[in-house]
Amino acid sequence: MNTTPFQRQRAYGLIAIIILIASTLFLLWVITVPAIRATSENRPLPADWTWGTILLFDFGSLIVCGYLCAGPITQLLTNFDDQGIEQPSFPHTKFLRWQDIQTVRNLTTSNIEVIGIKTKICINPNIYKNPRGLIQEIRLRIPESSFPDSNAIAKEILRHKRENASRAALGTILFGIFILLIGNNSVAAIMGVLMMAYGVYKIQRWVKLGRHS
């Protein structure tokens, strides 16, 4: 069977959505159901929880689940035709004609941005069966000047490497400090120091990449 450039791996997207929803419902069940049982039996809430923190946890979990599910749902409902790209959004559906596309960004990431005068549509190539074919088809349909050349793509790759290095450095250093603060034994101290050392290494890599940009 031939694969069209816009054909998606719908089964994988649906599985991801189902896993996210199931995981969220499991978390709600683990926290909320024991609390309901304890209240109905006039027992104290487990683990010193309060109904305020439980409801806050439930609400936050639902918000996070909705946010994570919005990505694959949006990608599955994005429509391509001869006129342009249509993508669901809030409060209105976005539509961008091929000839109105001014630039394409982040071609080397999982969040390609197709940008017009007032409209930006994000496309995750990983959800498509043929990501390279998808990018090539977009390139054929838009104005030639809108697609980045090889030099611009190389700079984009370097920029994303720097961004990843900076995020990794910050995350590992903060996590190392957190372990040092809450740990009360030599193992925690060693882990904290190792994490901070790895963060310093990532900072050095970030600086090195900056010299080549």
Give 128's DSSP letter.
Answer: B
pLDDT at 164 over 80: no
Looking at per-residue confidence, does 8 or 158 come out higher? Answer: 8
Q: Which residues contact 101 (CB under 8 A, 6 or more apart)?
A: 114, 115, 116, 142, 143, 146
Q: How confident is the model at residue 1 (pLDDT cuts 50, 70, 90)?
A: very low
pLDDT at 48 over 90: no
CA distance 138 to 38: 57
| pLDDT confidence of residue 154 | 78
- pTM more than 0.85: no
Q: Among the residues of 41-130, which ranges form H helices?
A: 51-77
| pLDDT confidence of residue 197 | 85
For the chain, the structural domain boundaries read 10-77, 79-148, 151-212
Worst-scoring range by mean pLDDT, 1-15, 100-114, 132-146? Answer: 1-15
